[in-house]
Every structure is written in C-alpha cells, then in structure tokens.
A and B are shown apart, each in its own frame.
Chain A
C-alpha cells in the first residue's frame, strides 16, 4: 500500500546540522552542488553547541614548539594506536586552516596579548593547543557555520528525522523521513548522502548527551550495509555533575582542569598522583574517568558518589571570565559557587569513538554514495579521544565529506529506487499506532539505559556483557510491541519509539564488540582481561550486517609509513 509523501531533490543530502553536517554542507555548496540539510532539531541547536573547552589545532600561538607532528603523535597515543593513522595525520595537518577559516567567517576566539587566537592546555595534549571562546566554543562554532550556510543558500529541513536510506543496488540514492511537526512523510532523492548525526549517548542513563543522540546515523548506515568499526570504545567523560539528581551527567568541561582545577577525594588526597603521576589531572579521559570511578568504589568518594573538582584557588574574576557557563551552571542548578568551593563530579557517557568506517581521504563509507563525518564516523580517535579533537574532527572531515560528496554528485546521475523501500519505511512508522495495546516507548528506553549503564559501562566483564546482550534481545521483542498514544502531530512518544530502534541496533554492536575484545585498551576496560594485549593492539573489530544478521570480524590496524612511525617513536 502506498502512503502519501512529498519529495525533495538535491545533489547532496546532509543528515545532521551540527559542526560536521554544516561544514560538509558549506563545502558542497562551495563546489556548486545543491544541498539539503536535514536535522531533528531547530537549526543551531545541535549537540555541537554543548562543546565547551575548545578546538585542538597546532597553531603554535602560545607554545611555539607545537606543530602537526606533535598533534598527530598525541592523538595516536591517546587512541592507543588503534587510530586510522592517515585520518590522524590529515586531522593534525588541516585543523589550523579550518580554525582560521572560522575566524574569517566571523568567529571571535579569545585572544593572546599579541592579538592572535589564544590556546589553552587540555588532557593528553603536549602543548597549549585548544582555541577557545571561554567555555562556549561549540556555540561560537555552530553559530558561525550556521550563518555561513544560510548566506550561501542551503536548504535546511528543520525538525525532520530520517528513518531509512534508499538504495539502488549497492549505492545510496536518497532517504525517507518524516516531519516531526506534522508527522507527514518525506522522501529525499540525492546523488550522495552525508551522515553527520553524532553519537549514541542516550542509550546510557548517566550521559552528557541530549535526546538527539540516539545512534541514528550508525543504525542507518548499518541497515544500508555499511561497516561499523571500534564500537566497543565509548568515552565516559571523567567530569559530569553528580548532584542534584536532575542534572546528573551534565558536562563539566575539561577546561576546568585545563585552567588549573584539581581533583581530590573525600580525604582531600590528590588521587591522580596514584593513577598518572606525570600528567595528573590532565591525563587522558579514560584514565581520569577510571580513577574517579575507582576512588568512589573504594569508599573515598564524596557524599553524592563523586570526586571534588576545585578551581577556587584561582581568582574569582578569572574563573568567571574563563569558565562563565560552569560558574552559572553550578550556581543556578546546584547552589554551588565554584569561585568559593569545589564541585562534585563523576564520569558521564559523553562520546562514541566508534562508528561508521570511512575512507580517510573522502570520508566515504563502504557503501558507494554514503559519507560520514564527525562523531558518527570512526577512525580518528582509536580507543580514546583527546578533548578538543572532536570540534577539529567535525571541521576537517566535515569539509572532506562535503567535497567528496559534491564531486561524486557531479559525476553520477540520480539513482532509481523501488517504491517498496518507501512502503516498508512508512509502514514501520505507522505500526506503532495500529496496535490495540502495548508498552510505552519510555518504559523500554528507561530499561535500556539502566542496562547499558550497569552492564556495558566503564568497567566490563564477560558475565555482564552476556547478560546485557540477553537484555537487549528482550528489549527488541518489547520494541515490537510498543504502542504510541495520540496523533502524529509533534508526538515525542512516537519519535522516541523510532529512535529506540536505532539505539537497540547500536547498543548491540557496542556490547558484542566489547565482549569480543578480550583486553583492556583506552576507554574499553575489562575486569576479566585487565591488561592490554599486543595482539589485540593490531586489530580493529568491524561490525556489518550480513543477510539480515549482525556479524563481527577482525581487521588489521593499518600500519603507518616509516616517516610517520619515526614521529610516533619520538620521546
């Protein structure tokens, strides 16, 4: 049965309007393509606005010794050498130009005394490298890109969600979606599609991520036959708020430590001295998150189960100028004045290192015509991402994806798809309303987040992961019985029911990859395999749909050429 839908046509369709999506759209426009951008929220609200600390780029404005080689080395070391070396190289080499470009489009970064872009220290970066705007760098970036795109003339389809990619043989040629507002269906025909949908944090209970972060792009790509990689590597940011309950998980920027903030346990000990005596509070995120978790588990946590983070030794005016959002966030939501006393912080699910496997040069996935950039893609960060490397990732690979997608659109025709694909997608969406009774999507989602938090969290073991997978299978059965109340008009329960499907697919990929990797590396910590295993250090785990089922395989990590190896071996 055919259901009514409207059709839009573009050379390049970008799914997602955060930093990567907007940068991809700008580049594709600059190459003369007609570009449509689809986003689940209003333009300018994407998760990028929440990025606080800064953009990592070896501009050497503050530390003249910095250069791309040092940035490349830090990124690879932070990622425990599971990174795609070519992506890490391109990223380190191109990030400074991408930052300058933002400035030329109107972004206003904090300045050095010489009038250049100011850079701050961050975990795992050897030099002061993060270009920033107080602690609201992401907002500056998204506003700049948004204004640029609007001026260049992209079409933005706001509050629209994509539920399925359309394929012609093995290539992607469009997408099916629905308007969140009216609930009507829409079909996008496009010669190339760029996924820039971000991560999957909403599958965990304690998270810094918004409702949008439901793994959409990873699930869309997986369903279309693309490969996912490194799915076991989920970053828990060491410092989220822990109190009061309503703000649990809300991000406390690493810039607090970058500006001199110190972590202490209930006994007043600087416990990082025991976990990383050299880098202390500015160790990499995986190390600091595990340290706080361990302090709490061993009884040295704060009243509400966290650690103290203290910046009050710095002058109050300095704190307010460099960390204004943090100052207001704690004052207004937790009744804590951070210029006078410590914050209480604990780990929060923050970022997905894994995602869609892409080509380093073009950001093309293993499915022709489908590109992925930003958090939805994988490779740059390996087993652990350094703070500040995400915003630069969005710009560097967003641009490359937009460029390649536009070039492809210039040399291919529009694909043809059969109507059955659209019928299937719309039938699936309407089934939620047609069941006479069933469960609320909110109940299934609550249980999923509890499971991922307790069984697929910071520390993992075989038993937990196996029971987690069994639960995910139960949730799938429950998903089949979900019933949505009300109409199609702006119905959040309906939207969640759809997003849950993506979360279940991605959660399964995470749990299965975590079970497969029998070692501890970066953000993946197995209590039953506590050490790093050099054999596993040479392998990425790839997840792919084969004949309707999820299959895992191991793939050798690409070896860097000798000149880059020399850089990596430097002290």
Chain B
C-alpha cells in the first residue's frame, strides 16, 4: 500500500516541534483521515478538533503545507507526493495543544453585533431573489480560515480594533436581510474597524464555502459606511424618507 509522510505540529503555547508520521494512503483519502489514522494507531493523544468530516461544521481548520484549509476537504492526492505533508495549527490564534487553537476571541466579537431586528408591521413575505443574496452569507460554517488568513489579524494582531471577515459577512447578512430595520454602520466603523480592510481578497480565496467575502460583503458595507458618515446628502435623504436600503 502507498504511504504518505506527515509532519504534524505537536506542542502547546509554550512551543513544540514537527513530528513525523507514516500513514497508509487509501483512494480518496483526506488529510483528516490521515490525522485520524495517527490518533488510532500511532499517537492516541494527538489533539485535533473535528466534527462532521463533511465540510459542514468548520471545526477541522488547520494549515496544510502552509495553506489554511479544512483538513476534511483536503485530498491527499491534491498535495505533492514527493515531500512530507506539513500540518500546523492556524497561525492567527493561540495554540492550545497540537492542532487545536483558542478561537474564543471570535465568539467575543460575535456578541457585539446587534441581532436581526425585523421592521415593524412586516408581513414576512420575501422574494427568492432578495433572499438569494443573503443566503450566500448564511452559508458560512465559521471555520475561521478567513480570520486566520487576514493580515490585519494574522500579521498585525489587531484583535481589539478589528472584527475580521467572518463578522463582516455576518453583519452583511443582517444589513441585507430584506426585513431587517437596523443600521450597523456605526458598529462597523467604530468597533469592528472595517476601515482596516484594504481588500486584498485573501479571505475570499480561502473560503471553503466560496462566499465572495470581499466583493459581496465587505465592499458593499464599506459603501454604506461612506454613505452614512461621509456623504451628508445621502444621510439627509434617508432621514427625510426614513427608508433603509435593501
């Protein structure tokens, strides 16, 4: 049987090393299968976070050969066979143990976002065309790969000032909900630091759900912030007509 060589980070926040494991390769195998083999036969205490193994829960995020990936969707046969497969934890979050990182910061950011607030007197009718746009954002499985790859977080560590792509997607879903009546532009500008994003599209590239994070969420949100804070005419018109854009 064919064999693959994996070099997996073993360690804690205090440091660690890459440990080499040899794993038999089966057709269609994914990196998470290889990690499970290691747990089952070679290192029962290898820490890996995973749940569905079907690309639906977003738990098994890690970096494979330096690329942020869901390990359950990364086929072994998509990686170069002539060198070891290097698996390391997401870089933007503190390591707890081995491939498991502390992603609790994301849950704190999420709490800042005001929830869906339906406009008074709505009849709950929506057209599929209006819903389509938001359903793209609702596909997000919270794998946090976009957060991991965003240079504002990854390289500059601006976790206090910046919300990150995942939460711009969430705010976009609320702002563009056909029946939502709240504006969150002040939050975007002042608390989530939308201005830090300089649209390099790294987040869009790594999204396993193919959400067009930059084009469909971040840029329209930036336009809304500009309208609300830097375009007095648009602001006045909205005050007069009291109509939320959809």
A151 to chain B: closest residue by CB? B115
Q: Which B residues lie within 8 Å of A155 (CB)?
A: none
Which stretch in B127-135, B157-165, B185-193 binds the other chain? B127-135
Check B58 for interface membership: any CB of A closer than 8 A. Answer: yes
Which stretch in B36-44, B219-227, B234-242 binds the other chain? B36-44
Interface size on B, residues (CB 8 A): 54
Check B52 for interface membership: any CB of A closer than 8 A. Answer: yes
Q: Which A residues lie within 8 Å of B54 (CB)?
A: 50, 247, 250-251, 329
Q: Determine the distance from Cα of A325 to Cα of B210 in the docked complex, in whole angstroms.
A: 12
Most buried by B among A111, A246, A334: A246
Could you say which of A49, A100, A133, A134 contacts B56, with CB atoms under 8 Å apart?
A49
Q: Determine the distance from Cα of A43 to Cα of B111 in the docked complex, in whole angstroms.
A: 13
Contacting pair A244 B58 (CB below 8 A): no
Q: Which A residues lie within 8 Å of B91 (CB)?
A: none
Contacting pair A243 B28 (CB below 8 A): yes
Nearest CB in chain A: distance from B112 CB, A: 11
Which stretch in A380-388, A439-447, A468-476, A507-515 binds the other chain? A439-447
Contacting pair B44 A492 (CB below 8 A): yes
Interface string of B200-228 (1 = CB under 8 A from A): 00000000000000000000000000000
Q: Determine the distance from Cα of A47 to Cα of B131 in the docked complex, in whole angstroms.
A: 25
Contacting pair A440 B111 (CB below 8 A): no
Contacting pair B51 A106 (CB below 8 A): no
Check B22 for interface membership: any CB of A closer than 8 A. Answer: no
Nearest CB in chain A: distance from B58 CB, A: 7
Q: Determine the distance from Cα of A486 to Cα of B46 in the docked complex, in whole angstroms.
A: 9
Could you say which of A138, A212, A328, A492 contacts B48, with CB atoms under 8 Å apart?
A492
Contacting pair A150 B110 (CB below 8 A): yes
Contact A244-B44, Cβ < 8 Å, known A116-B125, A140-B138: no
Most buried by B among A104, A111, A150: A111
Q: Determine the distance from Cα of A548 to Cα of B80 in the docked complex, in whole angstroms.
A: 56
Contact A489-B97, Cβ < 8 Å, known A105-B116, A111-B126, A329-B54: yes
Contacting pair A486 B26 (CB below 8 A): no
Contacting pair B56 A446 (CB below 8 A): no
Q: Determine the distance from Cα of A112 to Cα of B69 in the docked complex, in whole angstroms.
A: 36
Q: Which B residues lie within 8 Å of A47 (CB)?
A: 51-52
Interface string of A41-53 (1 = CB under 8 A from B): 1111111011000
Contacting pair A328 B55 (CB below 8 A): yes
Contacting pair A493 B39 (CB below 8 A): yes
Q: Which B residues lie within 8 Å of A490 (CB)?
A: 47, 96-98, 100
Q: Which B residues lie within 8 Å of A106 (CB)?
A: 115-116, 174, 177
Contacting pair B135 A133 (CB below 8 A): yes
Check A485 for interface membership: any CB of B closer than 8 A. Answer: yes
Q: How many A-B residue pairs have CB under 8 A?
A: 158
Check B59 for interface membership: any CB of A closer than 8 A. Answer: yes
Contacting pair A244 B56 (CB below 8 A): no
Contacting pair A212 B51 (CB below 8 A): yes
Q: Which A residues lie within 8 Å of B48 (CB)?
A: 492
Q: Determine the distance from Cα of A441 to Cα of B39 in the docked complex, in whole angstroms.
A: 10
Contacting pair A43 B97 (CB below 8 A): no
* A434-480 at interface with B (beta carbon < 8 Å): 440-442, 446
Nearest CB in chain B: distance from A26 CB, A: 12
Q: Which B residues lie within 8 Å of A250 (CB)?
A: 53-54
Check B119 for interface membership: any CB of A closer than 8 A. Answer: no
Could you say which of A50, A115, A442 contacts B126, with CB atoms under 8 Å apart?
A115
Contacting pair B96 A181 (CB below 8 A): yes
Interface string of A121-161 (1 = CB under 8 A from B): 00000000000011010111001000110110000001000
Check A318 for interface membership: any CB of B closer than 8 A. Answer: no
Q: Which A residues lie within 8 Å of B49 (CB)?
A: 41-42
Check B57 for interface membership: any CB of A closer than 8 A. Answer: yes
Nearest CB in chain A: distance from B53 CB, A: 7
Contacting pair B26 A41 (CB below 8 A): no
Contacting pair A41 B73 (CB below 8 A): no
Q: Determine the distance from Cα of A325 to Cα of B142 in the docked complex, in whole angstroms.
A: 16
Q: Which A residues lie within 8 Å of B12 (CB)?
A: 489
Contacting pair A108 B138 (CB below 8 A): yes
Q: Determine the distance from Cα of A118 to Cα of B128 in the docked complex, in whole angstroms.
A: 10
Nearest CB in chain A: distance from B161 CB, A: 22
Check B121 for interface membership: any CB of A closer than 8 A. Answer: no
Check A484 for interface membership: any CB of B closer than 8 A. Answer: yes
Q: Which B residues lie within 8 Å of A328 (CB)?
A: 55
Q: Which B residues lie within 8 Å of A325 (CB)?
A: 55-56
Q: Which A residues lie within 8 Å of B115 (CB)?
A: 105-106, 147-148, 151
A443 to chain B: closest residue by CB? B40
Q: Determine the distance from Cα of A50 to Cα of B72 in the docked complex, in whole angstroms.
A: 14
Interface string of B133-146 (1 = CB under 8 A from A): 01100110110000
Contacting pair B45 A485 (CB below 8 A): yes
Check B29 for interface membership: any CB of A closer than 8 A. Answer: yes
Could you say which of A103, A151, A244, A332 contacts B124, with CB atoms under 8 Å apart?
A103
* A165-214 at interface with B (beta carbon < 8 Å): 181, 210-212
B26 to chain A: closest residue by CB? A245
B135 to chain A: closest residue by CB? A108
Q: Which B residues lie within 8 Å of A212 (CB)?
A: 51
Nearest CB in chain A: distance from B25 CB, A: 10
Contact A211-B139, Cβ < 8 Å, known A105-B116, A147-B115, A329-B55: no
Residues of B within 8 A of A (CB): 12, 26-30, 33, 39-41, 44-59, 73, 75, 96-98, 100, 103-104, 107, 110-111, 115-116, 118, 124-128, 131, 134-135, 138-139, 141-142, 174, 177
**Could you write out 21 A-B pairs with CB less than 8 Å apart?**
A41-B51, A45-B58, A47-B51, A50-B56, A105-B115, A108-B177, A111-B127, A111-B131, A140-B138, A147-B116, A158-B107, A243-B28, A246-B26, A246-B33, A335-B28, A440-B40, A441-B44, A442-B40, A489-B47, A490-B47, A494-B45
Q: 11 other contacts beyond A245-B27, A446-B40, with CB at 8 A cut-off? A: A41-B51, A42-B103, A45-B51, A45-B52, A104-B124, A111-B128, A114-B125, A136-B56, A139-B138, A246-B33, A329-B55
8 closest pairs, A vs B, by CB? A244-B28, A486-B45, A106-B116, A493-B44, A115-B125, A490-B47, A490-B97, A246-B33
